[in-house]
Amino acid sequence: MNRRSDTGKVSIEIPSDIKYIRKVSSGILKWLEPRKLDDSALFDIRLCVEEVIRNAITHGNNSDLGLKVLISYWLEGDSLIIEVEDEGAGFDHSKMPDPTIEENIMKGSGRGVYIVRKLIDKMEFNDKGNKVRLTKYLK
C-alpha cells in the first residue's frame, strides 16, 4: 500500500472505501511527528486530508470499490505537499457554490472544499478536476 521514493515522497493507493480515510490521515500525522507541529496545525492537516480523500472516494469515484485513490505527500522546504487523485471524471472546481450565501446556508453538503480552502495555505486542482494539491506551510 505505501511506496516511499528516494526523494522522500510517500505514495499510498487505497480502494474507494471510507474505512481507509483515518488510516491515511493517521499515517501522515505520524510521518510528521519529527516536525513537532502544534496541535492546531495537526488538526487542520487531518481535517483537510480526510475531507479531500472522502470527496475523492464519494464524489470522484462514486464509492466504486474497483476504483482507486492515490495519495502522495512530501516536504518541500518548510511546506507539506499532499496530492489526492481519484479515477473519476473530475469536476469544474471553478463552479463550486459559495456555502456562505443565503441560498446555500441550509444545504446538507458543499462546505468541505470551502473549509479546506480556509485551513490550508494553498489548494490547487488539475484541469480535469480529479486531482487536488494541498500545500501547508510548516513554519
Q: If one looks up domain 2-137 in CATH, what number appears?
A: 3.30.565.10
Instruction: Encode pLDDT of 31-80 as tens digits.
Output: 999 999 999 999 999 999 999 999 999 999 999 999 999 999 999 999 99
User: Could you give phi then psi for residue 105, rounded to 5 degrees?
Assistant: -55, -45
Instruction: Encode pLDDT of 90-112 as tens digits.
Output: 988 788 777 778 887 777 777 88
Name the percent of the chain lying above pLDDT 70.
95
Residues contacting residue 138 through CB under 8 Å, at least 6 positions apart: 35, 37, 41, 75, 78, 79, 80
Instruction: Encode pLDDT of 7-38 as tens digits.
Output: 689 999 999 999 999 999 999 999 999 999 99
